[in-house]
Copies of this chain bind each other. A is one copy, B any other.
Amino acid sequence: MKPSIPKGTRDFGPQEMLRRKYIFNTIERVFQKYGFLPLETPAMENLETLTGKYGEEGDRLIFKVLKRGASLYEEVGQSLLQNLNWKGLTDRDKSNDLMDLGRLAGTIHFTGLVKDIETKGVDMALRYDLTVPFARYVVQHQNELAFPFKRYQIQPVWRADRPQKGRYREFYQCDADMIGSNSLLNEVELVMLLDEAFTQLGLQVAIKLNNRKVLSGIAEVSGQPDKVVDIVTAIDKLDKIGREKVEEEMRAKGVSDAAIAGIAPLFELKGTWKEQHPQLEQWLASSTTAQEGLKELSFVFDTVGALKSASLEFDPTLARGLDYYTGAILEVKANEGTLQSSISGGGRYDDLTGVFGLKGMSGVGISFGADRIYDVLMETNKFPAELGGSTQLLFANFGEAEALQCLKLLRQVRDAGIAAELYPDKAKMAKQFKYADDKGIPYVAILGENELKQGIITVKDMKSGEQKAVKQNDLIHAIQQA
């Protein structure tokens, strides 16, 4: 019976790890260059910190952690005993109580008991994302932090989702947020950051921008501002299902035909921000909310334009996590490879910390989808050949005397910053070469009896198969030159 891991979770072996580290390190360096500082929060939060923050569906997807065995045992038992409330009761009464308990047990749901388990046996849960723990951290440490506070956080999160292709129960999030400043310069900085990160990863991307206030304005001028969520949820699917189905969905949600007709101009918009901007100005002139959104968009497009950076595109149908964002909405898609979904996203959310009692803190942030970036880099063959971190040189093992001399050279080679190792056992050369091959080690140093006597060492290039003998003192030079 071979051991296994839970469905929806993954082991990351050496090769995958080196690739993942390349992605995370690249993004982390950019975060730091932009003034974001690292934060880590615990994997387990108090249950009450998480519940109610992700909607009803989200609550069901939170992994709950049992209190240590002993206390669960006692607490559930004692709670049941208290519920029975036997003190001072006659046997007859006790029997009735038992009947009640039994009736309860007789229903599949057994509500009371499950409640007991959850309230008495569980007080912690695994974090579901990095945003709520970040908000919790800011409120908890508000008196120690320098605002505006800029942090990045790269940690796994857990979701009790049904596992399927590309959807995991444990995955890393990779977020940068700033909180405590309303300035649109923050949005500009995030666009620059996204551009730099993907440039460094060597990936052609489109960075798309929209503003929640423009979406609200569209709902307003259509005459059904109360239907903004339904309208925008439908619009968000335009890419996938097309205009006809979008309008169908709006109709199904009770959006009037008049309102649907009122929204129609959105689907006719084409071209760059500069081309669409005047049309939107005119169309949404009656909505002050929309005007504010357009002004915000103008500032970001103009400023980014003046810096001649980033292929920033306007996408008036972009809506990501609508209930969440209140201003800018950002999304990144790869212009290479076949992946259709976004590889990064973000936006501004007013009142990030209000739920924990700290009002008036506006935040804006972005999140990199590491798993998807990994897939795109694999598909487009964009991972560097040299990922770093791998062994460069293997010393073959010919026995004790030779190995001792190898250990001395090994020390020198490592002091020169070259990752190297000695095969620990005196094994057949074929086996030792296979080890180097399997591990992707490019050079093998051979120091047998002859070499030992002559003070030389033979270096084999595993790719070309070429061998050349060098003086032991020249080994470092030979590897660095190769």
A interface residues (Cβ-Cβ under 8 A, vs B): 1-6, 9-14, 17-18, 21, 32-35, 37-46, 49, 59-61, 63-70, 72-74, 76-78, 80-81, 84, 86, 94-95, 97-99, 101-102, 105-110, 113-114, 117-118, 121-124, 126, 136-137, 139-141, 144, 146-148, 150-151, 156, 158, 160, 169-170, 178, 181-183, 185-186, 188-189, 192, 196, 303, 306-307, 309, 356-357, 389-391, 394, 397, 403-404, 407-408, 411, 414, 417-422, 424-425, 434-435, 438-439
Contact = CB atoms under 8 A, between A and B. Distances in A.
A401 to B, nearest CB: 11
A21 B10 CA distance: 24
Given A68-B160, A106-B84, A150-B421, A170 B42 contact: yes
B3 A109 contact: no
A6 B67 CA distance: 11
Contacts of A73: 109-110, 114
Nearest to A417: B33
A186 B424 contact: yes
Contacts of A140: 2-5, 11
Contact of A185 (B32, B97, B137, B424): B424
A106 B81 contact: yes
B38 A307 contact: no
B5 A42 contact: yes
A320 B9 CA distance: 33
B106 A35 contact: no
Nearest to A185: B424
State the oligomeric state as a number of copies: 2
Given A66-B64, A77-B114, A18 B38 contact: yes
A45 B280 CA distance: 53
A309 B390 CA distance: 24
Contacts of A21: 38
A407 B242 CA distance: 39
A144 B14 CA distance: 11
A307 B407 contact: yes
Given A12-B38, A181-B424, 14 more contacts: A2-B140, A5-B41, A6-B123, A11-B42, A12-B40, A13-B137, A33-B419, A34-B414, A63-B65, A73-B110, A76-B114, A84-B102, A185-B403, A306-B407
Nearest to A161: B68
A95 B101 contact: no
A283 B443 CA distance: 47
4 closest A-B pairs by beta carbon, nearest first, are A35-B421, A98-B102, A146-B438, A14-B37
Contacts of A17: 37-40
Contacts of A66: 63-66, 122
Nearest to A41: B11
Contacts of A5: 41-42, 45-46, 49, 136, 140
A137 B45 CA distance: 28
21 contacts: A6-B45, A11-B140, A13-B39, A17-B37, A21-B38, A32-B390, A42-B170, A43-B158, A61-B68, A63-B65, A66-B66, A74-B108, A76-B110, A80-B105, A81-B108, A95-B99, A113-B113, A178-B424, A181-B424, A188-B407, A307-B407
A148 B307 contact: no
A340 B81 CA distance: 47
B124 A6 contact: yes
Contacts of A408: 306-307
A31 to B, nearest CB: 9
Given A49-B3, A140-B3, A42 B9 contact: yes
A348 to B, nearest CB: 12
A18 B357 CA distance: 29
Contacts of A403: 185
A109 B77 contact: yes
Most interface-central of A59, A170, A404 (chain B CB within 10 A) = A404
